[in-house]
Amino acid sequence: MKTIILLISLVVCCQVLNAQVDVKFNPSGGKLTEIANYKKSTSTILPSKVLPKFNLDSVLQEDTKRMELGLPFRYGYNFDVLYTPMNSGIWQVENGIAIWQLRIQSVNAYSLSFHFSKFYLPDTASLIIYNEEESFLYGPLTSRQNSEKDKFTTGPIQGEDIIIELSVPSKLKDKVQL
Our count of domains for the chain comes to 1
The answer to whether residue 36 sits within a structural domain is yes
Task: Note whether 102 and 89 are within 8 A (CB).
Answer: yes
The answer to whether residue 49 sits within a structural domain is yes
Question: What domain range includes position 133?
Answer: 22-53+82-175
Q: Give the helix/strand (H/E) hosting 152.
A: strand 152-153
Residue 50, C-beta contacts closer than 8 angstroms, at least 6 positions apart: 105, 106, 107
The answer to whether residue 96 sits within a structural domain is yes
The answer to whether residue 94 sits within a structural domain is yes
Task: Give pTM, 2 decimals.
Answer: 0.82
Q: Where are the alpha helices (DSSP H) in the chain?
A: 2-18, 33-38, 56-68
The answer to whether residue 61 sits within a structural domain is no
- Kindly report, residue by residue over 125-148, the tens digit of the pLDDT: 999 999 999 999 999 999 999 999
43: phi then psi, degrees, rounded to nearest 5: -70, 135
pLDDT at 10 over 60: no
Q: Looking at the DSSP assignment, which residues form a beta bridge with residue 96?
A: none
- Kindly report, residue by residue over 39-73, the tens digit of the pLDDT: 887 777 888 999 998 777 888 888 889 889 998 87
Neighbouring C-alpha atoms within 13 Å toward the C-beta of 126: 14
Determine the pLDDT at residue 141. Answer: 96
